[in-house]
């Protein structure tokens, strides 16, 4: 197995949890760099996340619109949510899809994944394409207000290009889905 780190690494010499919350924790790590220098890293610990691009037989996507306090805006997004402890990512994708849109996918294909911002947060998002949809709702989270929006995949991609869809996971998910369906 090859090492593609180029000799770069950091060794954690001390770690202190400075905050514990419902959806994230924050820790302060003291690290030693490869050349022996010592530094501190603030790390936000966040569970894995799934983002789902549901596409129906007419190539319409099902998006969710909700107010996001940190952005202080109503955002149009792909359905998404955290992976519960002990849950497989495909199970989480199916659950989140049912909770947020009311649909279940007979076909669930993992398109890829990415770190949200690896300089300070551990959050990794798995992106799925969901097809062959049937209605099968689950109760959503009590603290969420969501509007379900149907539009063509082409229009959703256009909204990523014009800046109307501003959410990173949604932009990545929609572009990956459009590419996957174009080559299918």
Kind of pairing, strands 49-54 and 60-68?
A: unpaired
- pLDDT score for 68: 95
* pTM of the shown model: 0.92
User: Contact 149/174 with Cβ under 8 angstroms?
Assistant: no
Nearest in space to 166 (alpha carbons), one of 78, 46, 47, 60: 78
From 85, 87, 123, 145, active-site residue = 145
- pLDDT score for 3: 57
- pLDDT score for 57: 93
Domains in the chain and their CATH numbers? Answer: 10-46 (no CATH), 49-182 (3.90.79.10)
Q: Edge-to-edge strands of the sheet including 49-54? A: 80-82, 49-54, 124-135, 103-115
User: Contact 115/123 with Cβ under 8 angstroms?
Assistant: yes
| Residue 145 falls in the annotated catalytic set | yes
Residues 6+ apart with CB under 8 A from 48: 82, 83, 89, 92, 123, 124, 125, 126
- pLDDT score for 1: 45
**pLDDT averaged over 10-residue windows placed end to end, the chain, 184 residues:** 68 97 96 95 97 96 96 97 96 96 97 97 98 89 87 97 97 97 84
Nearest in space to 52 (alpha carbons), one of 96, 84, 22, 3: 96
Q: And the tokens for 146? A: 């969501």
């Amino acid at each position: 197995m090859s090492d593609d780190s180029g000799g770069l690494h950091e060794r954690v010499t001390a770690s202190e949890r400075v905050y514990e919350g419902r959806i994230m924790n924050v820790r302060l790590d003291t690290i030693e760099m490869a050349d022996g220098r010592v530094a501190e890293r603030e790390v936000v610990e966040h569970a894995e996340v799934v983002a789902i691009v549901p596409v129906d037989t007419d190539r319409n996507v099902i998006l969710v619109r909700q107010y996001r306090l940190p952005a202080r805006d109503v955002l149009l997004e792909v359905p998404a949510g955290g992976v519960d402890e002990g849950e497989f990512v495909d199970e989480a994708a199916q659950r989140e899809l049912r909770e947020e849109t009311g649909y279940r996918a007979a076909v669930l294909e993992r398109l890829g994944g990415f770190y949200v911002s690896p300089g300070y947060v551990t959050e990794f998002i798995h992106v799925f394409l969901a097809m062959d949809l049937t209605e099968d709702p689950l109760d959503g989270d009590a603290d969420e207000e969501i509007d379900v929006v149907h539009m063509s995949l082409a229009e959703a991609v256009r909204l990523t290009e014009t800046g109307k869809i501003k959410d990173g996971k949604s932009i990545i998910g929609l572009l990956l889905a459009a590419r996957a369906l174009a080559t299918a």
